[in-house]
């Protein structure tokens, strides 16, 4: 009898510790920091004392001690997943290198090196990595990052190569259009595609990325059904840079909204050479584009810039982008990055004030 009583009490204790969040907790405005938020802990801060209720941590920075501390301090743990960042994988798997319209390996785009998203070996590699995270941590969500074809947009001068024209991609596209692609080499095949089937080519590329989101989302939901699937993406308007969002990057925000729980536009105003008001304007536009609102199916949680690159972002400028990014239909916000707060305490105070008082 004594053993039975102990077991019952133990079960009740475990249930009390794992009770589901209340409606109020689920609907709370998300207030977070992106990057390696453990930097704040090392500097002597507590997440809850800063008004935060969420952390968005890079997968390489997700460690048991950090996770335990974050949960003890009552914050949600969302994990960034570097989906199509292929730099490390390419070192041992050059056959996954994105190929340009000249038939050459597309060079790194500044610091970023993408990958051919049709390479099955790489997709399996990422699937195993995602499963490993979910096996070890009960996360509140996974945010897919770098969900775009090889390019660089985190700059005032974007790098927008045409990719990928490897034999694997052109063979798959040939099946898609049910037509043999003429040409004796990759360059000739690429020229024929861009001349005769440009629209179909762009649509096919978008579909490849949507497939990645669906596949990663299925893994997440099968293992942790309550966790949210988020997607970080380039916050350009459809006509910017000759429609590069769709044409080069392969991104359709409305299509992503149909597959993800959360959209997180990367509203890095300094990197993109935009005024602070652009942040709020883009959030409003995105809400209309995805036909969402605060009770809609897809959530909008922007990420805004505090990081001094390029140029210097003043504490007041940081305040303004935080306020702009929190306007409806946004139901959450995060800032980049933790290091900016630790190195500039005025920005830390701005975030703390907003998170504790103004942003609800």
Structure tokens at 41: 């802990």
User: Which has more pLDDT, 278 or 311?
Assistant: 278
Q: What pTM did the predictor assign?
A: 0.91
pLDDT greater than 60 at residue 28: yes
Query: Helix, strand or coil for residue 292?
Result: coil
Please say whether the structural domain 25-160+206-358 has been given the CATH code 1.10.3720.10. no
DSSP state of 144: E
Identify the pLDDT of residue 310: 86
* 30 has pLDDT over 90: yes
Spatial CB neighbours of 299, under 8 Å, sequence gap ≥ 6: 228, 261, 262, 263, 292, 331, 332
Q: Are 303 and 324 in contact (CB under 8 A)?
A: no
- Contacts of residue 103, Cβ cutoff 8 Å, sequence gap at least 6: 165, 185, 186, 187, 190
Question: Above 70 in pLDDT, residue 328?
Answer: yes
Per-residue pLDDT, averaged over 301-319, amounts to: 95
Q: What value does the mean pLDDT take over residues 64-69?
A: 98
Domain spans in the chain, listed from the N-terminal domain onward: 25-160+206-358
Reported as a pLDDT band with limits 50, 70 and 90, residue 360 is low
DSSP 184-251: SSHHHHHHHHHHH-HHHHHHHHHHHHHHHHHHHHHHHHHH-TTSEEEEEEE---TTHHHHHHHHTS--
- Residue spans of alpha helices (H) in the chain: 2-17, 23-27, 38-42, 64-72, 87-90, 120-136, 167-177, 186-196, 198-223, 240-247, 253-257, 277-289, 315-325, 338-343, 345-353
Q: Is the predicted pLDDT of residue 103 greater than 70, yes or no?
A: yes
Residue 158: pLDDT over 60: yes
Per-residue pLDDT, averaged over 345-349, amounts to 97
The pairing of strands 299-300 and 303-305 is: unpaired
Is the pLDDT at 228 greater than 60? The verdict is: yes
Res. 293: pLDDT tops 60: no
For residue 273, give the 3-state DSSP assignment: coil
The Cα 169–Cα 204 span in angstroms is: 10
Torsions phi, psi for 359 (to 5 deg): -90, 115
Q: Which pLDDT belongs to residue 156?
A: 80
pLDDT value at position 14? 35
Q: What average pLDDT is seen over the chain?
A: 91
What's the pLDDT band for 139 if we cut at 50, 70, 90?
Answer: very high
Is the pLDDT reported for residue 21 higher than 60? no
Q: What is the pLDDT of residue 289?
A: 92
What value does the mean pLDDT take over residues 235-242? 96
User: For residue 63, what pLDDT is reported?
Assistant: 97
**d(C-alpha 115, C-alpha 13), whole Å:** 47
């Amino acid at each position: 009898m004594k053993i039975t009583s102990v077991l019952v009490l133990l079960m009740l204790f475990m249930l009390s510790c794992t009770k589901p969040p209340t409606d109020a907790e689920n609907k709370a405005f998300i207030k977070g920091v992106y990057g390696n938020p453990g930097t704040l802990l090392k500097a002597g801060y507590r997440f809850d004392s800063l008004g935060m209720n969420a952390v968005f941590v890079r997968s390489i920075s997700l460690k048991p001690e950090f996770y335990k501390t974050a949960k003890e301090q009552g914050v949600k743990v969302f994990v960034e997943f570097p989906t199509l960042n292929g730099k490390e994988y390419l070192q041992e798997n050059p056959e996954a290198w994105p190929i340009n319209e000249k038939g050459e390996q597309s060079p790194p785009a500044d610091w970023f090196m993408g990958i051919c998203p049709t390479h099955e070996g790489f997709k399996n590699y990422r699937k195993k990595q995602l499963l490993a995270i979910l096996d070890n941590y009960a996360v509140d969500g996974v945010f897919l990052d770098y969900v775009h074809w090889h390019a660089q947009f985190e700059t005032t001068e974007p790098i927008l190569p045409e990719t990928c024209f490897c034999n694997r991609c052109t063979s798959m596209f040939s099946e898609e259009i049910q037509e043999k692609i003429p040409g004796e080499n990759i360059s000739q095949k690429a020229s024929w595609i861009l001349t005769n089937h440009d629209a179909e080519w762009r649509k096919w590329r978008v579909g490849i990325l949507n497939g990645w989101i669906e596949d990663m989302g299925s893994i997440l939901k099968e293992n942790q059904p309550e966790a949210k699937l988020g997607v970080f993406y380039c916050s350009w308007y459809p006509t910017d840079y000759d429609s590069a969002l769709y044409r080069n990057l392969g991104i359709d925000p409305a299509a992503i909204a149909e597959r993800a729980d959360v959209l997180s536009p990367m509203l890095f105003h300094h990197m993109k050479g935009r005024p602070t008001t652009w942040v709020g304007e883009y959030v409003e536009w995105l809400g209309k584009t995805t036909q969402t609102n605060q009770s809609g199916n897809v959530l909008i949680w922007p990420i805004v810039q505090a990081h001094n690159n390029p140029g210097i972002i003043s504490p007041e400028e940081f305040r303004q982008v935080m306020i702009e990014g929190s306007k409806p239909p946004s139901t959450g916000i995060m800032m980049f990055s933790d290091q900016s707060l630790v190195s500039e305490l005025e920005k830390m105070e701005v975030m703390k004030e907003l998170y504790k008082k103004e942003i609800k």
